[in-house]
Chain A
């Protein structure tokens, strides 16, 4: 067994152990530094090992370009959140070391998830990441009340546990039908069984948990409350990194089966419902994070458009889209973390006059809003366009038309954020916001990424296609 294959995960695990020891001593600053170092190290290790490939743990763990790409994105997301989270003021002070521990473990779980090719391994890694997240939500500082994060935590956990339960139920069907937990063995046997209702039900049940992670309608009920109730830093993580693994796993599971009319229709309906539900609900929100929660539902609907084509090009587009989504969301949550002075929630109106208080943050916010709204030439547009084009090529004209209509609905709420940021004068807080050098760097990287991903998708699509071809 080549230890290098597992190096990023091991490095994070090492970081987690050190943070665990530090957590005994209440030293939250060094805990953060260790977490940051672990994130950086894992990012460098995954990025440099992007071309490694091999199987581990008796065929339960596959390291290939597909998983390594996702690991790079996951660690990059975590590192960015840690940098712009700063001293994590939104987190209760005495549990901050534990918070970093949970953050690392959750990331570790997600990294393992994208490599898992065995039902049991999938379950274990998923739970590692989920349970850490369940803990992270209520760790919010109680300075502004206790109710909101407890509600969020409980809601997220109950929904999450239920989704996991459904997944286990589905897995038992699949195991019963094929006699194996290894995805390779299942891939070989499942196509012959796909006309069995039990197989379809089993697969759909497994898909449920990842749709829950992506907040696809009707598995979205947790999302607005969890986004609103989590500390800004927690929501920044929750809104970005787990979605990556969600997409990776949707692709893995969907790839087990041949497309059948029933499953395609099922996914198409969910996609359209998600877009409409998310966008229409977002129109009425006044809290920024809550609005982003509904926007996440809508974007998850878009991601499904790529997956329901059941083609390699469609999957590659979904990967491309979720990468764009990662950077756009990181960018706007970064702004929220900085605008919020002591970790309180930021209403949309609270962004008033941001252009005066910090031009860089205002620019980042404006850019990410336009990008999320799908205005070219940014990442959001190119992803949306490629998804629509792919879905149309696969013959889903109605879905494409409804998706395009949604782009027109969505512009309103994104635009109103831009309007507040750039046109309204500051009301309460007028003093400039101090932006530390790390956040400045992250913000510049994110801005360039949003533009670069948008205007130069060819190489990224190519890489995603290659990854898919090697993995499946």
Chain B
């Protein structure tokens, strides 16, 4: 297998994927809320620690899939258990493993009922998310992709807000209905490959006919567009975000949404390059529509979580824009922006959750003026808000700048139309910030508010580190993806009848 660099010795990816599952199994036999919390924290932290050497051991000069594992699974259909990471999935795996323990910490007090079940759901969720990013076999990928719906559904449906049933059902049905055609497309790819295989790298660069590519592309695109979510299939996201418990929202925003863009990068582009080019203009305009729509809608929100949810629609629009301008800068910016959005939006949602725990409201009106009583909190909140609208020096600035630079290189008009989106982001974020920090200093209901405790500071601090690290020195994050992105663009170019759409720097 010349796509893989097989891992000899410690099967690090399998351990990462199945350690949380084993933890969930053991958690079933634990009793007591406190024990369950501590156990989940131990397991997820252990996973985060195990995952760190991935970064240092990763050979960033190779585009091949590293730490790969390969086992026969269902030989009748040539389905294998194949795992591996490249520059794109490496960052997403690290993002997942690092965010999970922070989510457990954030749920420490927030989740008061059925704590054990909650922790089990979180651990199973981690298994499936890591599985999605590491899987190199289509069936393994699909199993993880769909299995993830179960714990996420439970998180929203059991621990959610007042409209949890509506939100969770909508989430489940939207995502499932989006991906059923993907299964048909996966089988079609298998039947059109010679020899028949579900091995993802081997399905890239096959000489499919244009019609076939278009059908496959559409089947995949619907599944991923729902997950991203792209305008106009984004409506499940605000509902799910608002109703989900804090940890659920954070995971949803930081990791689940990334699976959509990850899928576009991993499957649509390299497998169906011709179709990608055909649909590129439409997707670019859809992205811009998402950016503007998300921005304007966020401007009108009174519920802070809803505001952040709509801002996600806008930010994800920037990511799809960066992917589909199909050049080096845009794509690197998009991938970096995937990480940035995970860091920034995750942190903002945690902040909103912290206010909610204190005031039992997410309304902007009731949160006005907490700045007077919670100075530490608003410091964090302000930095994350600045990061969210890409203030220079923060992480999103680098990503958004790269995306726009890439966009202007190839598609000036589309990118120019997207610019107001960046201004809108500043408008809605500053509006929220202004209300929360300075609005109505004499709000009587805030008298007894306590500032962040140590646990909450520990939860937010890592996000702060990444905001400035990526913002000031993005080199280490970009360098691991260089060769993967080069290779990906080469794959797209090679599969296109008229190359030269992508100008490599």
A192 in contact (CB, < 8 A)? no
B29 in contact (CB, < 8 A)? no
Which residues of chain B are near A331, meaning CB under 8 Å?
Answer: none
Q: Are A408 and B157 in contact (CB under 8 A)?
A: no
Which residues of chain B are near A423, meaning CB under 8 Å?
Answer: 157-158, 164-165
Which of A381, A388, A412 is close to B146, meaning CB atoms less than 8 Å apart? A381
Given A393-B191, A419-B165, A423-B165, answer yes or no on A400-B76 (Cβ-Cβ < 8 Å): no
Which residues of chain A are near B143, meaning CB under 8 Å?
Answer: 376-377, 381
Which of A381, A401, A416, A461 is close to B74, meaning CB atoms less than 8 Å apart? A461
A456-472 interface (Cβ within 8 A of B): 457-458, 461-462, 465
A169 in contact (CB, < 8 A)? no
Indicate with 1 or 0, residue by residue over A386-416, a CB within 8 angstroms of chain B CB atoms. 1011001100000011001101100110011
B133 in contact (CB, < 8 A)? no
B129-179 interface (Cβ within 8 A of A): 139, 142-144, 146-147, 149-150, 153-154, 157-158, 164-165, 168-169, 172-173, 176-177
A393 to B193, CA, bound (A): 12
Indicate with 1 or 0, residue by residue over A434-472, a CB within 8 angstroms of chain B CB atoms. 000000000000000000000001100110010000000
B73 in contact (CB, < 8 A)? yes
B181 in contact (CB, < 8 A)? yes
Number of A-B contacts (CB under 8 A): 80
Which residues of chain B are near A392, meaning CB under 8 Å?
Answer: 184, 187-188, 191
A370 in contact (CB, < 8 A)? yes
Given A375-B146, A376-B142, A393-B191, answer yes or no on A313-B180 (Cβ-Cβ < 8 Å): no
A6 in contact (CB, < 8 A)? no
Which residues of chain B are near A370, meaning CB under 8 Å?
Answer: 150
B328 in contact (CB, < 8 A)? no
A422 in contact (CB, < 8 A)? yes
Interface residues on B, range: 20 to 34
Which residues of chain A are near B139, meaning CB under 8 Å?
Answer: 385
How many residues on A have C-beta within 8 angstroms of the other chain's C-beta atoms? Answer: 31
Q: Are B188 and A422 in contact (CB under 8 A)?
A: no
Given A423-B158, A458-B75, answer yes or no on A385-B183 (Cβ-Cβ < 8 Å): yes
Which of A400, A405, A458, A461 is close to B187, meaning CB atoms less than 8 Å apart? A400
Which residues of chain A are near B183, meaning CB under 8 Å?
Answer: 385, 388, 404, 407
Which of A381, A401, A412 is close to B184, meaning CB atoms less than 8 Å apart? A401
Indicate with 1 or 0, residue by residue over B60-86, a CB within 8 angstroms of chain A CB atoms. 000000000000011111000000000
> What's the nearest-Cβ distance from chain B to residue A369, in Å?
10
> What's the nearest-Cβ distance from chain A to residue B129, in Å?
14
B190 in contact (CB, < 8 A)? yes
Indicate with 1 or 0, residue by residue over A356-372, a CB within 8 angstroms of chain B CB atoms. 00000000000000100
> What's the nearest-Cβ distance from chain B to residue A159, in Å?
33
Q: Are B180 and A407 in contact (CB under 8 A)?
A: yes
Q: Are B154 and A419 in contact (CB under 8 A)?
A: no
A354 to B144, CA, bound (A): 28
> What's the nearest-Cβ distance from chain A to residue B222, in Å?
11
A-B pairs with beta carbons under 8 Å apart, 13 shown: A370-B150, A385-B142, A386-B77, A392-B187, A400-B187, A407-B183, A408-B176, A412-B173, A419-B165, A422-B154, A422-B158, A423-B164, A462-B76
- Listed from nearest, the 10 A-B pairs whose CB atoms lie closest are A376-B143, A408-B177, A404-B180, A389-B187, A408-B180, A458-B74, A376-B146, A423-B157, A377-B143, A392-B187
